[in-house]
């Protein structure tokens, strides 16, 4: 082979490796390492944030960032819900319960996203007689941060609870 071709291949390979490393580093920077345990794997936190931001992209809302303090608050709410001491959402909070302790958190967030079909974008409200509070909180334009927690250790009929807490909360 010609040395010019070999140099070109080496240079292209080197640049490709550099781009992959830069992309990996950037992706790792997207999610902070929270010191508090929130029951979620790092990959689950990324999936949740990605699903939220995909929903927000669909309505031209700015992207959310993950917030560890909100995740800790969400974890406390998930723990309380599995323990039976809190069963309703607080303002700025989405929650979902499951009879299955292997709750798929991305699937759970996708269920919230499905509420979009009942959302009247022009009016900024839910269609009459429908519920879409989860969707409304996900896309609320003043919201800038989200943090979530999951408890998969329920003993009764509720085996798992996912809670996401938002700042700023939708009124």
pLDDT > 50? residue 23: no
Query: pLDDT tens, 65-81?
Result: 999 999 999 999 999 98
53 torsion bin: left (phi>0), alpha (psi -120 to 50), beta (else): alpha
Bridge-based pairing of strands 145-151 and 160-167 is: antiparallel
pLDDT > 60? residue 21: no
Query: pLDDT tens, 113-129?
Result: 999 999 998 898 999 99
Residue 76, φ and ψ in degrees, nearest 5: -60, -40
């Amino acid at each position: 082979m010609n040395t010019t071709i070999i140099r070109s291949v080496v240079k292209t390979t080197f640049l490709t490796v550099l781009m992959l490393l830069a992309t990996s580093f950037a992706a790792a920077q997207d999610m902070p390492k929270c010191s508090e345990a929130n029951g979620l794997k790092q990959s689950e936190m990324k999936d949740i944030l990605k699903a939220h931001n995909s929903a927000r992209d669909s309505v031209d809302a700015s992207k959310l960032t993950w917030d560890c303090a909100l995740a800790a608050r969400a974890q406390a709410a998930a723990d309380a819900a599995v323990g039976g001491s809190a069963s309703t959402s607080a303002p700025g909070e989405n929650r979902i319960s499951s009879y299955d302790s292997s709750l798929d958190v991305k699937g759970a967030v996708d269920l919230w996203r499905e509420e979009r079909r009942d959302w009247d974008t022009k009016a900024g409200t839910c269609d009459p007689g429908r519920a879409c509070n989860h969707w409304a909180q996900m896309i609320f334009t003043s919201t800038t941060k989200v943090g979530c927690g999951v408890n998969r250790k329920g003993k009764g009929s509720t085996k798992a609870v996912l809670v996401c807490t938002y700042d700023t909360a939708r009124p």
